[in-house]
Amino acid sequence: MSTLIVPPLLSSPRDDAMHLYRAFKGFGTDTSAVINILAHRDAAQRALIQHEYRALYAEDLLKRLTSELTGKLETAVLLWMHDLPGRDAIIVRQALIADILNLETATEVICSRTSSQIQVFKQHYYAKFGVHLEHDIELRASGDHKKLLLAYVSTPRYEGREVDRNMAEKDAKALYKAGEKRLGTDEKTFIRVFSERSAAHLAAVDSAYHSMYGNSLKKAIKKETSGHFEHALKTILQCSENPAKYFVKVSFFIFKLFDLVFSASSGSRGNFFFFFSHEVKYGMQAIHVLKAH
């Protein structure tokens, strides 16, 4: 789950809308005021603010934010205004239909989500864009990477922590036979196991694989696969073992990129960092925003 610190004493959504309107008035936008309000409101509260803003000023708040903000801060704020599945839908859609295809971003969002999260974000995807997620994956991805993504977004997976250890050992053996034991790789076996098994089960498979063959499953994936297919498998595996560690590790690179991207403006750097410091889970999205221009 994403984390957000909400002040104990909140102004009403109507007051927030009025404060935002005042922040937009005059010469230049008071970006600190915008951030101090929106970055401390959860999704439900932000939705109420949008409703009150439209009621008070007959204007869409998202459109006003678009006209008032610029650059990376604009992108960050607009993404933040959506709830989590809506944000996933927007980012994946943008990654798949961009002139320069960004399969890395689409892969990281899809493969770091649980089965239930994917089903909700698929509904948002269709509602927002009038096309099924599977259609865009079919159109833009290719090869084994496409097969894995299509299987991963369409297959229900158990989300509990119980694990059948015997089955985990059988899957470890199957993956070994499909990869390191043979000449060439049986990608179908990797796709089946990684798209059908629960996160807890995959973590157990990795442990069994290491015990049985003295090598980590991650290293086997790196040895036996490549490209976007490799990246998808590793993302699924890493999130199954420790999703919090994965998101923190990915988010770490944001800090390395700040000075490169925002060296000319400490204010912009601070504003952008403040927004994403509240949403570590979406660190990879911040990274791709930073890389985009």
* pTM of this structure: 0.79
CA 122 to chain CA centroid, nearest Å: 13
Query: What pLDDT digit, counting tens, does each position of 188-198 carry?
Result: 999 999 999 99
Q: How far is CA 165 from CA 160, 168, 204, 243, 250, in A?
A: 14, 5, 7, 21, 30
Q: Which residues contact 80 (CB under 8 A, 6 or more apart)?
A: 38, 39, 46, 87, 275, 279
87 is written with which tokens? 């944000």
Maximum distance among all Cα pairs of the chain, rounded to whole angstroms: 69
Query: What pLDDT digit, counting tens, does each position of 275-288 carry?
Result: 554 444 444 444 44
Mean pLDDT, all residues of the chain? 85
pLDDT at 15: 96
Residue 289 reports pLDDT greater than 50 = no
Measured in residues, the chain has a length of 293
Beta-strand (E) ranges in 19-134? none
Which SS3 state, helix, strand or coil, does residue 222 take?
A: helix
Query: What pLDDT digit, counting tens, does each position of 151-178 carry?
Result: 999 999 999 999 999 999 999 999 999 9
Query: What pLDDT digit, counting tens, does each position of 30-40 carry?
Result: 999 998 899 88
Taking alpha carbons only, the member of 94, 98, 127 closest to residue 109 is 94
Query: What pLDDT digit, counting tens, does each position of 31-75 carry?
Result: 999 988 998 898 899 999 999 999 999 999 999 999 999 887 888
Instruction: Return d(Cα 178, Cα 180) in angstroms, integer.
Output: 7
Instruction: Return d(Cα 88, Cα 109) in angstroms, integer.
Output: 7
Burial annotation 278-290 (CB, 10 A radius, 16+ → b, else e): bbbbbbbbbbbbb
| Higher-confidence position of 252 and 215 | 215
The DSSP annotation for 116-168 comes to HHHHHHHHHHHHHHSS-HHHHHHHH--HHHHHHHHHHHHS----SS---HHHH
Give residue for tokens 């989500």.
Answer: 113
Instruction: Return d(Cα 94, Cα 96) in angstroms, integer.
Output: 6
